[in-house]
């Protein structure tokens, strides 16, 4: 009888140690997998976090889209755009150097032009009553990129109607326009508010973040921290392990829970003994 006590205590000590040992590598592996999945969704328009409705909203899938490294982007905003939208865009612009590890800078400018056309290294934004008449496929507006070559953005023109949630304008100007990012599924990342670029079924622009989030920043800094440049291919991303080609079959996502289950089974056996 007495001997069962020390053995239970030993087992509990093992349990504590095993949980610590089991938890940290699994947690960090999950974190890595998550960043890699976010990189793949946001920068390649593919992978397990890409919107499950099949609408990643990128011009190029399988190419990293962005302005060339070292570009100082001018965001030229029409005076047709309301003050609160201007302020939100300006605020998010300040995140761009950090998000790109200093590769891209962004400055804000106002223009009287009601319908500005972007020059090289410019992103323009205007409110327009009829974005479809300007070349957008949707009434809710769009970002029209010009590319120097696949993935290398030359300019971006954002045309949107007035009266949408402020988030929608920041999403287009900063997310698509400057960062060249695709959508990520808001339901699969724990809520639309976890990304400026959330999309997918049932996600509305009022629910997404109004600035680049921790998830967006982590993914972007990973990509800009690599030796690659915009225009790089999916193969380059796989080669440098920015994304995990095997993640597509869900292997990686399932590894951690399976490991934990194994440890718990082992502990239960130990305690039962």
Contact positions toward Zn ion, by CB under 5 A? 57
Q: Which helix (H) or strand (E) holds 127?
A: strand 122-127
Question: Cβ 138 to Zn ion, closest distance in Å?
Answer: 10
Question: Cβ 35 to Zn ion, closest distance in Å?
Answer: 21
Q: Name residue, tokens 């300007």.
A: 134
Question: Cβ 88 to Zn ion, closest distance in Å?
Answer: 16
Question: Cβ 164 to Zn ion, closest distance in Å?
Answer: 12
Q: Is 72 exposed, middle or buried (0-12, 13-18, 19+ CB in 10 A)?
A: exposed
CB atoms within 10 A of CB 77: 23
The residue whose Cβ lies closest to Zn ion is 57
| Residue placing its CB nearer to Zn ion in the complex, 151 or 256 | 151
| Residue placing its CB nearer to Zn ion in the complex, 81 or 184 | 184
- DSSP string across 145-186: EEEEETTEEEEEEEEE-TTS-HHHHHIIIIIIIIT----EET
Q: Nearest 5°: CA angle at 84, between 79 and 87? A: 85
* Alpha-helix residue ranges (DSSP H) falling in 94-141: 96-99
Question: Cβ 79 to Zn ion, closest distance in Å?
Answer: 24
| Residue placing its CB nearer to Zn ion in the complex, 66 or 252 | 66
| Residue placing its CB nearer to Zn ion in the complex, 57 or 240 | 57
Percentages helix, strand, coil for the chain (3-state, rounded to 5) are 45, 15, 40
Alpha-carbon distance 183 to 55, whole Å? Answer: 8
| Residue placing its CB nearer to Zn ion in the complex, 67 or 244 | 67
Question: Cβ 266 to Zn ion, closest distance in Å?
Answer: 46
* Alpha-helix residue ranges (DSSP H) falling in 81-138: 83-93, 96-99
| Residue placing its CB nearer to Zn ion in the complex, 33 or 59 | 59
């Amino acid at each position: 009888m007495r001997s069962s006590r020390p053995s239970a205590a030993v087992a509990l000590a093992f349990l504590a140690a095993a949980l610590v040992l089991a938890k940290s590598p699994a947690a960090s592996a999950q974190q890595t997998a998550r960043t890699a999945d976010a990189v793949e969704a946001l920068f390649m328009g593919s992978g397990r976090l890409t919107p499950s409705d099949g609408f990643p909203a990128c011009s190029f899938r399988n190419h990293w889209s962005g302005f060339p490294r070292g570009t100082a982007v001018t965001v030229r905003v029409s005076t047709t755009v309301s003050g609160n939208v201007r302020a939100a865009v300006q605020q998010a612009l300040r995140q761009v150097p950090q998000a790109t590890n200093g590769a891209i800078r962004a400055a804000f400018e106002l223009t009287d032009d009601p319908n500005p056309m972007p020059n090289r290294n410019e992103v323009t934004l205007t409110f327009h009553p009829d974005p479809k008449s300007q070349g957008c496929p949707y009434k809710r507006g769009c970002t029209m990129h010009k590319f120097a070559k696949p993935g290398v953005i030359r300019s971006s023109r954002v045309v949107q109607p007035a009266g949408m949630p402020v988030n929608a304008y920041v999403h287009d100007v900063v997310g698509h326009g400057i960062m060249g990012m695709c959508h990520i599924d808001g339901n699969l990342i724990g809520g639309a508010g976890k990304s400026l670029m959330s999309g997918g079924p049932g996600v509305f622009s009022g629910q997404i973040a109004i600035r680049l989030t921790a998830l967006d920043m982590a993914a972007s800094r990973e990509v800009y921290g690599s030796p690659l440049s915009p225009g790089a291919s999916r193969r380059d991303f796989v080669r440098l392990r920015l994304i995990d080609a095997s993640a597509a079959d869900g292997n990686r996502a399932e590894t951690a829970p399976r490991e934990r289950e194994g440890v718990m089974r082992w502990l239960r056996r130990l305690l039962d003994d």
